[in-house]
């Protein structure tokens, strides 16, 4: 039997709300896989939704974001681990290297702010791509080599 009128409208609202929720969970998973969010707090800030809402999505979507105690909100399994797209990862590493070599940002914090990713992610990319970003203590995250030392570091105006 087909519903009409008020009850049909409520059904439509419920379906639209559920669809929007499912889309938000899919976006959360995509951002997690892209290394945009590692924690619930980062996801809440990034999405503009409350911590409670993001936590529900992570649980319902089986996304092991870390809580305030650095524990995954769902058990980490082979099925729910982060699935990093290798082409996207290479593009991120290239962008990080470009930003560093152009001297647009040379610290982990500055690159995180410029690229819109968490500092933990930027640090992992820097290590993976051997980009010697500087820490808060002005130490390069990876050793400087002939291969990764930019031209501007050798100039007199660097120091």
Q: Is the pTM of this model over 0.75?
A: yes
The pLDDT tens digits for 124-139 are: 999 999 999 999 999 9
Q: What's the pLDDT score for residue 156?
A: 56
Q: What's the pLDDT score for residue 150?
A: 87
Q: What's the pLDDT score for residue 10?
A: 55
Torsion sign (Cα): 32, 35, 41, 47: negative
CA distance 70 to 64: 11
The conformational region for residue 137 under phi > 0 = left, psi -120 to 50 = alpha, else beta, is alpha
Lowest mean pLDDT among 8-12, 31-35, 120-124: 8-12
Chain-centre distance for alpha carbon 77: 20
Name the 3-class secondary structure at 134: strand
The pLDDT tens digits for 28-76 are: 999 999 999 999 999 999 999 999 999 999 999 999 999 999 999 999 9
Q: What's the pLDDT score for residue 72?
A: 98
CA distance 78 to 111: 31
Q: What's the pLDDT score for residue 11?
A: 62
The pLDDT tens digits for 79-113 are: 999 999 999 999 999 999 999 999 999 999 999 99
CA distance 25 to 57: 6
155 pLDDT tier (thresholds 50, 70, 90): low
């Amino acid at each position: 039997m087909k519903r009409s009128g008020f009850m049909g409208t409520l059904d439509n609202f419920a379906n639209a709300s559920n669809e929007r929720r499912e889309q938000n969970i899919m976006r959360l998973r995509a951002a997690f896989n892209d290394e945009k969010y590692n924690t619930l707090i980062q996801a809440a800030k990034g999405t503009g939704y409350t911590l409670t809402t993001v936590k529900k999505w992570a649980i319902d979507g089986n996304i092991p974001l870390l809580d305030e105690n650095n524990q995954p909100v769902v058990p980490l399994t082979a099925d729910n681990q982060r699935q990093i797209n290798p082409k996207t990862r290479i593009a991120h590493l290239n962008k990080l290297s470009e930003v560093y070599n152009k001297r647009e940002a040379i610290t982990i914090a500055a690159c995180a702010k410029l690229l819109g990713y968490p500092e933990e992610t930027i640090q992992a990319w820097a290590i993976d791509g051997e980009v010697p970003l500087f820490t808060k203590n002005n130490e390069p995250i990876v050793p400087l080599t002939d291969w990764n030392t930019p031209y501007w570091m050798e100039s007199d105006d660097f120091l």
